[in-house]
Chains A and B, each alone.
Chain A
């Protein structure tokens, strides 16, 4: 059976004056957990605001849970739960009343909202702390409170913007487990924007990768990883010669010291590698199929798009670099 679609866009574009934030975005996000990835300035925030119906797209169309993003923003926001990245809680209120109020803002009856606030806070692990003022909460507890605010009305789609940002390991584990539980046990969908690839990989089955407002990749993580199958070898002696020999034979080689990864394009690859090694007299002490992580996949895609990056940290931690690439040539950037 065809999986249910929760977000669909067709040629969705958004311009801020001359600056293009989203360009002809064609997305098809199905029910379940989906990761939204992209470097700073990729258009993630604009995309979220557009699907929330908070800003009007310049052109194109889209639906969220069957509602038109151009005309039914309020209906969309009634059916989704949004967990913002930044603080969105009144520090002088206690958690239970903050969550209750967030339910009332959706149109819930105050009594029902209070009951649901108790249930939501219990679910996110704050059952014992619900009467404490939010200013006394740790970052993890604040994140959990924001999640409780988002799920108080049992939304069909939860948009979590950097849910594990700034959390210590135990709080992060709990947040990730909670999101997984929400998808698996609660049968809800999650759209998770995060810079932490491990978290996205654990929670999500699919990803959407944006770059400069365009769709760089979309699909199941496993399928996307399969695109980037590689053989990893550990070489002793004659590594450079072996690299040259393999490149000469038309293999695609990535090398970091004595470790090389060769794109797995043919079934005879292993024998060809061994042949090259015997020809140049290099020792291969270890050879195995390399299972790419989501971060590797991300890097490969970004490299294909023209970025010179060593890790996703480079992109995420240095937005100036990313913006410089986006900037026109006469301003020092790489864009035409």
Chain B
């Protein structure tokens, strides 16, 4: 049986009027008042005939209760209006306060079988069944963007701070550990100088203290620094700096912003170079400073040795520039950090090995011009004025070779970066 067919008389007093009613009985409109609670059940068409008041026969239609649509016609009868108003208030109260129960939810979903749902529950469900937890609000921003230097600083900061803290460029844990180890290993000469000052052994100080050979060795000594420390540091740093932007598509993040290719390369280059500088040049400075402080060196000593320190420092700068240029060029032509890292080590150590073999077999040093390390060492020996180990050609050839190497690397780097896409790779 459908709900429409099973129409029971309304439980409220309203329909209790005897049928047929006499006009006298109908007179007191009161019996109609109880209709209040019915409000939800809109259609009460039959009420229309009540208007004339006197001949109450028309009240018959009240029986069906169900569609009680327009309570409007009742308007003329004052008390009914009042009822309507009260009912409206009641619904509002129910809407605002009625709790949502499991039963109410079930009724909302399936409806009660009798069709006589409780108004208050219906109303409260109507308000709560959206289940809206997340409200999407667009928040405008009226701030101003900072100029170019701030954007460049953001790139530099992102890469450098990534070594020390989370939330910036995620360098790998092995890379971070290795950098820390190399940093302390690079300070070994400073530590030994300090030790020499503590034990007061001049021979020991002669081995480790600041002098021409040791300053050169701090930056350009082959073993262990240019076998185990600096090339590996450079390889770990340059490996993914550009190649991973290509791999992950993060180049689009840069180039869809007001960042040009020059700034992009410049800041990547500067950040890699800066981290190497901390390990190579900052430790050189600490080494020199330790000697001054530990042995109480005066101005005369500083004036004597400072040019040598500057020469070593320039050698270190050349080393950082060369390793960074070659490494970033390799990074720009690949999509991953393995190839650039291994490639850089192969170039630095492979050419050196090849040049040594050729020299030993044929007593020709010319192949050293292909080795970045040997060119750096040759120029560095000149700058620091240590005993030269390259006899067959002038240091200017090594300098020229370095310039050519850097030029080729920067050309490859710039051309590859300029081909990086925003839309797709």
Chain A residues near B (Cβ < 8 Å): 45, 48-49, 52, 54, 73-75, 77-78, 82, 84-94, 97, 100-102, 104-110, 112, 116, 119, 123, 125, 127, 149, 153-154, 161, 177-178, 181-182, 185-186, 188
Contacts and interface: CB of A to CB of B under 8 A. Distances in A.
Contacts of A92: 170
A129 to B, nearest CB: 12
A54 B424 CA distance: 13
Nearest to A75: B258
Interface stretch (B138-146, B215-223, B322-330, B347-355): B138-146
A153 B256 contact: no
A87 B252 CA distance: 9
Contacts of B257: 77-78, 102, 105-106
Interface residues of B, number: 42
Given A84-B256, A97-B167, 8 more contacts: A74-B260, A82-B422, A90-B170, A90-B250, A107-B146, A125-B136, A127-B134, A182-B138
Given A52-B422, A106-B257, A153 B136 contact: no
B248 interface: yes
Nearest to A77: B258
A85 B251 CA distance: 13
B147 interface: yes
Interface in B203-262: 244, 248-260
Given A86-B249, A104-B158, A123-B136, A77 B256 contact: yes
B360 interface: no
A105 B151 contact: yes
A105 B259 contact: yes
A211 to B, nearest CB: 18
Interface in B135-190: 136-143, 145-148, 150-151, 154-155, 157-158, 166-170
A105 B138 contact: no
A153 B139 contact: no
B5 to A, nearest CB: 35
Interface in B285-323: none
23 contacts: A48-B423, A49-B422, A82-B252, A82-B256, A84-B422, A90-B250, A92-B170, A93-B167, A101-B158, A104-B154, A105-B151, A106-B151, A106-B257, A107-B146, A109-B146, A110-B154, A123-B137, A127-B134, A149-B253, A154-B141, A178-B136, A181-B138, A182-B138
B3 interface: no
Interface string B117-149: 000000000000000001011111111011110
A161 B424 CA distance: 11
B253 to A, nearest CB: 5
Contacts of A127: 134
Contacts of A105: 151, 154-155, 253-254, 257, 259
A103 to B, nearest CB: 9
Nearest to A47: B423
B248 A89 contact: yes
B425 interface: yes
Nearest to A53: B258
Given A86-B249, A92-B170, A119-B139, A108 B146 contact: yes
A123 B138 contact: yes
Q: B-side binding surface: helix, strand, loop or mixed? A: loop
A109 B157 CA distance: 12
A90 B241 CA distance: 12
Contacts of A186: 138, 140
A45 B377 CA distance: 49
A54 B255 contact: yes
B172 to A, nearest CB: 9
B154 A89 contact: no
Nearest to B149: A107
A302 B15 CA distance: 69
A86 to B, nearest CB: 5
Contacts of A52: 256, 422
A85 B258 contact: no
A48 B422 CA distance: 9
A48 B168 CA distance: 29
A107 B138 contact: no
Contact of B249 (A54, A84, A109, A112): A84
B138 to A, nearest CB: 3
A142 to B, nearest CB: 11
A247 to B, nearest CB: 45
A166 B140 CA distance: 29
B423 A153 contact: no
A102 B253 contact: yes
A88 B154 contact: no
Q: Which of B151, B248, B423 has the most CB of A within 10 A?
A: B423
B151 A107 contact: yes
Contacts of B145: 78, 106-108, 153
A181 to B, nearest CB: 6
Nearest to B425: A86
Contacts of B151: 104-107
Contacts of B138: 123, 181-182, 185-186, 188
Contacts of B258: 73-75, 77-78, 106-107
A88 B421 CA distance: 11
Nearest to B261: A54
Nearest to B136: A181
Contacts of A178: 136
A262 B407 CA distance: 68
Most interface-central of A48, A101, A112, A188 (chain B CB within 10 A): A101
Contacts of A149: 253
